[in-house]
Structure 1
């Protein structure tokens, strides 16, 4: 047996999570690494046999106890959200880099069941480059068996808040190995329950990742147990076929139950994993560029489809037409819908209204319609994006001040600039300068009014400017050490235009300065938006091309920045990233 060191790391909310580290045998500091994620209900102690039986002794191995499991804190089987578990993994990987020198190009991620969904979601949402991903029996769709169980759980959760469900799964449904069955039944650290919010979050994230699997492009191996009584096989196969990975392989394990890496004949599965990992690490890391994804990627194809009219007698076409009619008639009683119809639903004026989140309208019915409009999942995501922007700006300001510099902020597409000024209000030290730019003179005038209202005129300047003019951006004055680009690049599908903008910012920001940028890798209402809402650009349909986080991060890297932190909402719609100028 390889001996594990028992350690802890601090995750995003200050919690201290437990993990095990098995140092490489004769691997030295440059040893590659495996990160193992346990199944739901379990903990890292039950992965010792995998570390030993894989026999990859030149690899360092790491495994955590997810929060609410094993020796990590939290109510058993619970988490603030499923997204919090994914964020925990991001913090864990970054901790391994700083504490153990493990960088992405030397890291393989192996997840089982729920751990596999956490791993796949992290790879999709955070796009940290790693060497490869192994998913064993991923729980993309759990067999709940009770009819309408998910609908019932969702309704009950909305009515009474969080609650716990005890697992029906017995050890004999997981493995045919007598010792694994005995140890499962006797292990006091196994959490038999799971919270409703984690289970519902798991199911929602899994559906999203299976649907958008083309965004995952690193080498992937999928192991599917043939006789799995715990999760469905069809979504696993859909995920594999949709994967964008140029290098992928799938193995169905005959006669295997759910615990694929702990089954009686697990050497078959472990041999697949060992062979895959060794082959991937024996060849050079793949350089799979996404800079041309705006011309031939899966989101480009989606954008083209959304620009095409639906068949004349399609029920969906009729449904969208009725929605447009309702918005242009009764919907005008809502202040938010009226602003969107008049100036574009993606305009600075519209977003400022959404940020304020105060329902207004003609008569009571208008206010009720407006509240429903403001509560749309996309607008809720926008407001969470605003909260994440404030976090990112606070983190960047702290880093700038720690380096002994005065903070100089520039926002190149500020709209009304409300979120920037809100962030400034929360800073411990006032910035030395603030520059708010926007293409719209009306937006700039509103930003100037806000600046004066908050008594910031002596340090803030508002001006009209083109966020895609590389030369103009490069000559920004005062030279900023924090640039914010929020809600802009999501509106333009052309990567070359985005790259020009980023290169201009790289010239403007001194080395060590910071860039905050936002992304939209996913949106559950993207077709509804394209077929019912209008843009600020001449009232044209608001058709968006989603950029995967990997594509967006590559654009940022190409311009000369390195991402250091990222935030994302629980639905996976909007990201906020903090990068540093190299």
Structure 2
């Protein structure tokens, strides 16, 4: 699998790190998938996803979101929700420049799922479809009223106010080796600012309210044992979206489906769906 790194510059001058993978320079590419990662993650956490996709003939592009990975900015902070959508703009522009004549898809996990679904609703992009796993539409738990009140105050007077997110890696995966890599990852972090939290909270609510406006097929996967993001919210989203959404609840899986013990089964579901979506758009 070949890897290439590149950079983009946002409208406000922030440098964003991007990378791309394909099987090799000479192989035929049947489609391109743009990855939008979750909170505290970065594009490097998706190498196994890229390996599965490139082995099946797809090219993959990913970017480190604002305040994440190798991209500039205060860790866990965004100036606005629009800045997250701009990152997807840049990712898709790169994908279409590099692979102009093949089906184009988005893939988003957790926070990235929140962003991808909002992107489909607000931007109405000409895509062949999107894969979303464990999206942050709602959290699987309720923050305390005290924390929410403090966060709202800080969002008004000092939006860069930073909180530490819970660090229980066992909520993410039941795979000990994957858990070790997450824990030891020097580019990962557990920070989130008041502006980022409430922007994503509103984004999840907006996606639930406007799910029926999505016009491209979506594969929505959620682990039954997910204690980070809400399975019932994903279920409600799928019901609102209707026939364009293929929704699967995966028993025994925790939050990070791509890092779970039986992730090869998840990759198989994705690839099967991608093939069918590509055929529909051929």
- Structure 1 residue 160: Cα displacement: 4.0
1:102 aligns with 2:104: no
Contact conserved, 1:12 with 1:91, CA < 8 A, in 2? no
Residue aligning to 1:92: 91
Among residues 125, 129, 137, which one is paired with 2:126 in the alignment?
Answer: 129
Residue aligning to 1:166: 164
Among residues 190, 193, 207, which one is paired with 1:192 in the alignment?
Answer: 190
Residue aligning to 2:48: 49
Separation (CA, whole Å) in 2 of partners of 1:85 and 1:284: 27
Among residues 153, 163, 167, which one is paired with 1:155 in the alignment?
Answer: 153
Residue aligning to 2:237: 239
Contact conserved, 2:211 with 2:241, CA < 8 A, in 1? yes
The structure richer in strand per residue is: 2
Give the count of matched residue pairs.
Answer: 280
- Structure 1 residue 27: Cα displacement: 3.7
- Structure 1 residue 24: Cα displacement: 4.4
- Structure 1 residue 238: Cα displacement: 1.1
Among residues 103, 109, 114, which one is paired with 1:112 in the alignment?
Answer: 109
Q: TM-score, normalised by structure 2?
A: 0.93
Q: Which has the larger radius of gyration?
A: 1
Q: 1:116 to 1:146 in 2, by over 3 A?
A: closer
Unaligned runs of 5+ in 2: none
Q: 1:91 to 1:200 in 2, by over 3 A?
A: same
Separation (CA, whole Å) in 1 of partners of 2:262 and 2:30: 29
Query: Over aligned residue pairs, what C-alpha RMSD do you find?
Result: 1.8
Contact conserved, 1:83 with 1:201, CA < 8 A, in 2? no
Separation (CA, whole Å) in 2 of partners of 1:161 and 1:196: 5
1:550-565 matches, within 5 Å, as none
Q: 1:133 to 1:164 in 2, by over 3 A?
A: same
Residue-by-residue CA offset, 1:109-139 (whole Å, 9 max, x unaligned): 1110001111111111111110011110001
Q: 1:143 to 1:196 in 2, by over 3 A?
A: farther
Residue aligning to 1:256: 253
Residue aligning to 1:78: 77
Residue aligning to 1:465: none
Equivalent residue of 2:2, what SS? coil
Separation (CA, whole Å) in 1 of partners of 2:231 and 2:99: 37
Residue-by-residue CA offset, 1:311-368 (whole Å, 9 max, x unaligned): xxxxxxxxxxxxxxxxxxxxxxxxxxxxxxxxxxxxxxxxxxxxxxxxxxxxxxxxxx
1:354-503 matches, within 5 Å, as none
Q: 1:217 to 1:56 in 2, by over 3 A?
A: farther
Among residues 271, 274, 279, which one is paired with 1:274 in the alignment?
Answer: 271
Contact conserved, 2:211 with 2:240, CA < 8 A, in 1? yes
Q: 1:76 to 1:6 in 2, by over 3 A?
A: same
Equivalent residue of 1:77, what SS? coil
Residue aligning to 1:40: 39
Separation (CA, whole Å) in 1 of partners of 2:159 and 2:60: 38
1:179 aligns with 2:177: yes
Residue-by-residue CA offset, 1:503-559 (whole Å, 9 max, x unaligned): xxxxxxxxxxxxxxxxxxxxxxxxxxxxxxxxxxxxxxxxxxxxxxxxxxxxxxxxx
1:209-248 matches, within 5 Å, as 209-243=207-241, 246-248=243-245
Q: TM-score, normalised by structure 1?
A: 0.46
Separation (CA, whole Å) in 2 of partners of 1:129 and 1:89: 13
- Structure 1 residue 167: Cα displacement: 0.9
Separation (CA, whole Å) in 2 of partners of 1:234 and 1:162: 31
Separation (CA, whole Å) in 2 of partners of 1:247 and 1:124: 13
- Structure 1 residue 55: Cα displacement: 5.3
Separation (CA, whole Å) in 2 of partners of 1:87 and 1:107: 17
Contact conserved, 1:44 with 1:63, CA < 8 A, in 2? yes
Contact conserved, 1:54 with 1:271, CA < 8 A, in 2? no
- Structure 1 residue 271: Cα displacement: 1.2
Q: 1:284 to 1:95 in 2, by over 3 A?
A: closer
Q: 1:73 to 1:123 in 2, by over 3 A?
A: same
Contact conserved, 1:108 with 1:131, CA < 8 A, in 2? yes
